[in-house]
């Protein structure tokens, strides 16, 4: 009998692990997901008022997310992403500063765009350039507990650069405030995104609902490669050999999983790809306190909110915008971006509340603790008011429908020292792998981190089954000038 691999959790980590194992002769693979849909935190829901499939929140990837992009191409959904090579920053006065790469090699390609930022003075820009260089050249690990905000202050960054540049970039990338960010993770965002390669910063936006991508299309791809897919199949626990006659090695092997229905699936290899707070309850008490696993319960999370707005007319021709000095952080013009639905997906319906002329926008607020403390109607009103300050047409437009969605545990916070708490994919249980954006990947909690973790877990399983293969993709190559100027 070929080894049976059971993957628990159908978010991007579990899906990437399944994709990495799919179609390999000599393995059978089962993927179990507790919810009635795939995609985990990157999924959609049906908005009852408009009848539209609405993403829980806009998800974007960057050019430096090489594994995520490989995964999308592998499973045939890469064409449903649009590369955006120009960003619009809108400052407190409503002035737009555009960011696009100049025809210069990295790390100079964005220098003219940064020089044109209307929301920073020349003094700020010089400090910013100096700060970016110091960050890139940082070699020694930061003193334990030092936050990125401390580092910025020590490196003479002005309040304007901190609020209008460092915060704006990092709150979107890591969903945390600067005082709660590890220096190493902050450095990674700027090095991989802005300094190492010309394409690292480019934004990849899905042009179809996430449910279509990670649900319909991906499920078809996995099924065609003999992966058994089971929705509404939540695991209750990982089963171990409890025969008193078994050796210690035998009793520390997982032999299967028990579903909440009571059904038991036997397994030779298990990949646990559930969120960090749900891992330990699936394991016996003696494993929960193992030093390699016990740090999991100290991981903290940050919320992300999205405000969904349907207006009766267009409010801007921009496809997306980044805000400076506002509660709103990003605006996505979903009607302009969302151009494609898969043939296999059910057509979205048009209801009375959703006449063809409605225009759908989504505003993202990361690290949204402030939003959690407010009444939702107050947040929606504050966001609409901010948009009206930039585009006066909003005052005349009719807001046909709106809703606020907050994911309370959206991502693990990259607090100073967080990597000491993140376990590797190979758990201390030999035939049990961990996957998820919260595991040790070198990346923060992102789609790239989730896919990397799934690939790493799948590589471990393949190695253990005598079918070694490499799944992890290389980073974008570092430009020669970046090596020379910044020592990258």
Ligand X SMILES: Cc1cc2nc3c(=O)[nH]c(=O)nc-3n(C[C@H](O)[C@H](O)[C@H](O)COP(=O)(O)OP(=O)(O)OC[C@H]3O[C@@H](n4cnc5c(N)ncnc54)[C@H](O)[C@@H]3O)c2cc1C
Question: Considering only 11-19, 118-126, 178-186, 367-375, which stretch makes contact with ligand X by CB under 6 A?
Answer: 11-19
Place of tokens 């959790």: 9
- Please report whether residue 10 would count as binding ligand X according to CB under 6 A: yes
Q: Which is nearer to ligand X, 336 or 388 (CB)?
A: 336
Bridge-based pairing of strands 269-272 and 432-434 is parallel
Q: Is the torsion defined by CA of 230, 205, 78, 488 positive or negative?
A: negative
Could you say which of 5, 6, 7, 12 contacts ligand X (CB under 6 A)? 12
Residue 106 · residue 195 · CB < 8 Å: yes
Listed residue (488, 464, 445, 463) closest to 40, CA to CA? 445
Number of residues that bind ligand X (CB under 6 A): 37
- Please report whether residue 20 would count as binding ligand X according to CB under 6 A: no
- Please report whether residue 110 would count as binding ligand X according to CB under 6 A: no
**What's the gap between Cα 372 and its chain centre?**
21
Could you say which of 18, 31, 61, 367 contacts ligand X (CB under 6 A)? 61
Cα–Cα distances in angstroms (integers) from residue 67 to residues 196, 456, 465, in the given order: 17, 11, 23
The DSSP 8-state label assigned to residue 477 in this structure reads P
- Please report whether residue 189 would count as binding ligand X according to CB under 6 A: no
Site residues (CB under 6 A) for ligand X, limited to 227-256: 234-235
Site residues (CB under 6 A) for ligand X, limited to 292-351: 304
- Please report whether residue 57 would count as binding ligand X according to CB under 6 A: yes
Residue 482 · residue 191 · CB < 8 Å: no
The site map against ligand X for 374-413 (x = CB under 6 A) is ---------------------------------x--xx--
Question: Considering only 38-46, 97-105, 373-381, 393-401, which stretch makes contact with ligand X by CB under 6 A?
Answer: 38-46
Bridge-based pairing of strands 254-259 and 227-230 is unpaired
Tokens (6 digits) for 3: 């080894």
d(CA 197, CA 432): 36
- Please report whether residue 436 would count as binding ligand X according to CB under 6 A: yes
Give min distance, CB of 483 to ligand X, in A: 27
Give min distance, CB of 63 to ligand X, in A: 12
- Please report whether residue 13 would count as binding ligand X according to CB under 6 A: yes
d(CA 445, CA 415): 12
Residues near ligand X, by CB under 6 A: 8-14, 32-35, 40-42, 56-57, 59-61, 234-235, 273-275, 278, 304, 407, 410-411, 436-437, 445-450
């Amino acid at each position: 009998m070929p080894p049976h691999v059971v993957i628990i959790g159908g978010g991007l980590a579990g899906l990437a692990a399944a994709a990495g194992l799919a179609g390999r002769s000599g393995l059978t693979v089962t993927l179990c997901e507790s919810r009635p849909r795939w995609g985990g935190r990157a999924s959609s829901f049906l908005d009852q008022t408009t009848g539209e499939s609405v993403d829980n929140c806009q998800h974007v990837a960057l050019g430096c997310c090489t594994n995520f992009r490989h995964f999308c191409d592998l499973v045939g959904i890469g064409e449903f992403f649009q590369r955006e090579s120009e960003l619009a920053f809108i400052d407190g006065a409503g002035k737009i500063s555009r960011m696009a790469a100049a025809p210069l090699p990295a790390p100079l390609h964005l220098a003219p765009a940064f020089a044109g930022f209307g929301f920073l003075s020349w003094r700020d820009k010089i400090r910013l350039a100096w700060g970016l260089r110091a960050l890139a050249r940082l070699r020694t690990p930061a003193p334990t507990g030092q936050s990125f905000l401390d580092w910025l202050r020590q490196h003479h960054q002005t309040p304007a650069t901190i609020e209008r540049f460092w915060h704006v970039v990092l709150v979107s990338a890591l969903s945390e405030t600067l005082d709660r960010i590890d220096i190493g993770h902050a450095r990674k965002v700027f090095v991989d995104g802005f300094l190492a390669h010309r394409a690292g910063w480019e934004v990849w936006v899905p042009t179809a609902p996430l449910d279509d991508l990670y649900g319909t299309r991906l499920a078809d791809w996995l099924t065609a490669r003999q992966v058994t897919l089971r929705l509404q199949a939540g695991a209750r626990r990982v089963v171990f050999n409890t025969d008193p006659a078994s050796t210690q090695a035998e009793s520390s092997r997982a032999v299967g999983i028990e579903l909440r229905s009571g059904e038991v699936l036997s397994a030779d290899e298990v990949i646990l790809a559930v969120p960090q707070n749900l891992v330990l309850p699936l394991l016996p008490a003696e494993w929960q306190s193992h030093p390699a696993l016990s740090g999991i319960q100290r991981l903290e999370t940050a919320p992300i909110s999205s405000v969904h707005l349907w207006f009766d007319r267009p409010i801007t021709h921009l496809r997306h915008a980044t805000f400076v000095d506002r509660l709103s952080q990003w605006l996505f013009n979903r009607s302009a971006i969302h151009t494609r639905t898969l043939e296999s997906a059910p057509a979205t319906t048009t209801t009375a509340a959703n006449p063809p002329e409605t225009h759908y926008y989504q505003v993202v607020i990361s690290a949204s603790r402030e939003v959690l403390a407010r009444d939702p109607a107050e947040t929606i009103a504050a966001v609409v008011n901010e948009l009206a300050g930039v585009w006066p047409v909003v005052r005349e437009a009719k807001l046909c429908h709106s809703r606020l969605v907050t994911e309370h545990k959206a991502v693990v916070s990259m607090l100073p020292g967080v990597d000491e708490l993140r376990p590797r994919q190979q758990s201390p249980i030999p035939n049990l792998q961990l996957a998820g954006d919260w595991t040790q990947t070198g990346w923060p909690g992102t789609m790239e981190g989730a896919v990397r973790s799934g690939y790493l877990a799948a590589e471990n399983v393949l190695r253990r089954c005598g079918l070694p293969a490499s799944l992890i993709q290389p980073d974008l190559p570092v430009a020669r000038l970046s090596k020379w100027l910044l020592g990258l």
